Amino acid sequence: MITGHFPIARFETFETPFYYYDMEVLSDTLRAVNTERSAVECSNAPFTVHYAIKACSTPEVLQMIAQAGLGADCVSGGEIKAAIEAGFAAEKIVFAGVAKSDKEIRYALEQGIFCFNVESMEELEVISALASEMGVRARVCLRINPNINAHTHDKITTGLSENKFGIPMRFLNQAVELCYRLPEIDFLGLHFHIGSQITDMEPFIHLAHRVNELVAQVEQMTCTDHEGKAVHPVVRHINIGGGLGILYEHPNHFPIPDFQSYFNTWRTHLQLRADQQAHCELGRSIVAQCGNLVTRVLYVKKGENKQFAIVDAGMNDLIRPAMYGAFHRVENISHPDKEEQLYDIVGPVCESSDVFVENYHIAAVQRGDLLVMRSAGAYGETMASQYNLRRLPGHVIS
């Protein structure tokens, strides 16, 4: 069954492969995000949603998300620039990443972003020094590695002790003390992120309990500030990161992720006071289902034991299957009613890993047919490359 809106006649006027963004799906998704976020806020647990720009940075997509009132989660100076140009308010931008350059830090300070999610004490000292040079103060949250298993793919887990992200929990008190010793730093709170494509709420429940423990730990501290005064840290902002997944197997039946369960999990398990603000950083769950990679069949090739549908999109256009072994539903939109046959759907890149799906049943294809790879709005176009000197894919907006 194909229920997506695919204007085939219009598609024929564009060179394949290209990304197609269904803005109606994106609008419905943003409405669902804001509805469920508002329901949590009504229970006295205020949430700010920051969209993770790394998932998809297509300008038209960013503009719609900014217009919906979301903030931005950025991991580079380029993403901060794209966010501001798309209309995101600087005071709703957070800046994460384990290797922020001096140039990027200066740019973020110039723009007056909301805060840096700081991933090491070394970074904290650099931010402080640069802020001092510029005569400004830097607002920070400390990204803490909570050592929680998200039970997701090992290449997209970020919250285990073996991962490069965040400050180890055993250094938490030391990092908080450093924040207060540095005169140019304003300590706002704590930041966490345990991984991506999480569809079971259990890891989030574990994270909520760990956050509650660490917030209590920080607020029991007594620090000495840069003037030698005793201060008691207050955690006013708690950023629990992102990670909510989607159902790649069923984009037609479940185009909207389970935002209700996600926000209810935090409402139930995260202990927020009236003077605390919660933040989350959703990316994939907002844009994945609105984006699709459209490609054309170049050849149908009979192998020794297999039948190959060779398309003009390659792993350079959509790298997730090659990099993560990820699944994307593929549909023949030129002849959707033909009897299904079994294919390996592969691309033209000179790599054995340039395979989108193996042993896959799809309506019988022929040279020239248009195929659509669904749920490609997240980490699709934004990760595309020009490997083999292939052109970057374009994009079409509905």
Where do the domains of the chain lie?
Answer: 23-286, 289-397
User: Which token pair is 298?
Assistant: 């170049």
**CA 73 distance to own-chain centroid:** 8
The mean pLDDT of 360-366, rounded to a whole number, is 97
Q: How many C-beta neighbours within 10 Å does residue 364 have?
A: 17
Tell me, what's the pLDDT at 45? 65
Tens of pLDDT, residues 226-265: 999 999 999 999 999 999 999 999 999 999 999 999 999 9
Tell me, what's the pLDDT at 40? 80
- Distance of alpha carbon 315 from alpha carbon 114, whole angstroms: 36
Closest to 29 in 3D by CA, of 57, 58, 65: 65
Asked if 47 and 278 touch (Cβ cutoff 8 Å), the reply is yes
Locate tokens 């989030």: which residue? 204
Asked if 60 and 385 touch (Cβ cutoff 8 Å), the reply is no
User: Which token pair is 30?
Assistant: 């943003």
User: Which token pair is 115?
Assistant: 């805060």
CATH of domain 23-286: 3.20.20.10
- Distance of alpha carbon 251 from alpha carbon 375, whole angstroms: 7
Q: pLDDT above 90 covers what percent of the chain?
A: 88
Indicate whether this model's pTM tops 0.85: yes
Tell me, what's the pLDDT at 35? 95
- The helix/strand/coil state of 102 is helix
| Domain 23-286 and domain 289-397 have a common topology | no
Residue 149: band (very low, low, confident or very high) from pLDDT cuts 50, 70, 90: low
Asked if 277 and 238 touch (Cβ cutoff 8 Å), the reply is yes
The mean pLDDT of 51-80, rounded to a whole number, is 98
| Lowest-confidence segment of 23-32, 85-94, 142-151, 296-305 by average pLDDT | 142-151
Q: What is the largest CA-CA distance in the chain?
A: 78
Q: Does 162 score more than 90 pLDDT? A: no
Tens of pLDDT, residues 259-310: 999 999 999 999 998 899 999 999 999 999 999 999 999 999 998 899 999 9
The amino acid at residue 393 is: P
Closest to 374 in 3D by CA, of 3, 80, 66: 3
CATH of domain 289-397: 2.40.37.10
Tell me, what's the pLDDT at 5? 73
Residue 360: band (very low, low, confident or very high) from pLDDT cuts 50, 70, 90: very high
The mean pLDDT of 5-25, rounded to a whole number, is 94
Residue 153: band (very low, low, confident or very high) from pLDDT cuts 50, 70, 90: very low
- Distance of alpha carbon 40 from alpha carbon 280, whole angstroms: 13
- Distance of alpha carbon 282 from alpha carbon 279, whole angstroms: 10
Q: Does 73 score more than 80 pLDDT? A: yes
- The helix/strand/coil state of 125 is helix
| Lowest-confidence segment of 162-176, 276-290, 341-355 by average pLDDT | 162-176
The mean pLDDT of 30-46, rounded to a whole number, is 84
Closest to 237 in 3D by CA, of 276, 209, 210: 276
| Lowest-confidence segment of 99-103, 195-199, 314-318 by average pLDDT | 195-199
Closest to 342 in 3D by CA, of 371, 301, 372, 308: 308
Q: pLDDT above 70 covers what percent of the chain?
A: 94
Torsion of CA 251, 256, 260, 262, to 10 degrees: 60
The answer for residues whose C-beta is within 8 angstroms of residue 27's C-beta and 6 or more apart is 64
- The helix/strand/coil state of 232 is coil
- Distance of alpha carbon 245 from alpha carbon 257, whole angstroms: 7
Tens of pLDDT, residues 128-148: 999 999 999 999 999 999 888
User: Which token pair is 180?
Assistant: 């207060």
Chain-wide mean pLDDT for the chain? 93
- Distance of alpha carbon 341 from alpha carbon 371, whole angstroms: 14
Residue 1: band (very low, low, confident or very high) from pLDDT cuts 50, 70, 90: very low
Strands (E), 121-195: 138-145, 167-168, 185-191
Residue 51: band (very low, low, confident or very high) from pLDDT cuts 50, 70, 90: very high
